[in-house]
Amino acid sequence: MQIGKTAQNAVAAVSYLAECYRDKLGSVSSQAVADARGLSKPLAAKILTTLSQSGLVKGSTGPGGGYELEVEPSEIRLLDVVKHFELQNKAVMCPFGEGWCGNYDPCPLHDNIMKLGEDLEQFLVTNNFGKFALPGCSSKRSAEGGK
């Protein structure tokens, strides 16, 4: 599995919602998420809509509407977010080209590449957004009001 830019931005957005959860801010706008994490508003809105459809985020429209986490931050693993933006079981690319490993002898980097993929998956499974909801955990950007 690889983590692309959209999945990275989704992790950033959810980390901000975890901070808002901690601070009991309630719903926040997609613009607030975008400003806090340096995202464009359309990208933040798209990410939050996808996460709303997954049940991780609750979205509401109208005055006072916005987005907030549907569940406790500590119950949301990084993998729970990333999987909505990445293809699952995407094989790590062999340096000899697609289709080499598994059809011929493994390439010289095969074992190392496989270990990297396993380590990344383990990282995504064992880490959750509860770390962003701990007292005293705020990004510099959030502390400066999203600037």
Q: Is 114 part of any domain?
A: no
CA distances from 6 to 22, 45, 147 (A): 24, 12, 21
Domain of residue 41, residue span: 5-86+129-143
Q: Does 146 score more than 80 pLDDT?
A: no
Q: Is residue 99 part of a domain?
A: no
pLDDT given at position 2 = 66
pTM: 0.81
Residue 109 lies in a domain: no
What would the pLDDT profile of 63-122 be if each residue is shown by its tens digit?
878 999 999 999 999 999 999 998 655 565 677 777 777 677 788 888 888 898 889 989
Inside any domain, residue 103: no
Tell me, yes or no, whether 97 lies in a domain. no
Q: What mean pLDDT is reported for the chain?
A: 85
pLDDT score of 144 more than 60: no
State how many domains the chain has: 1
CATH code assigned at 135? 1.10.10.10
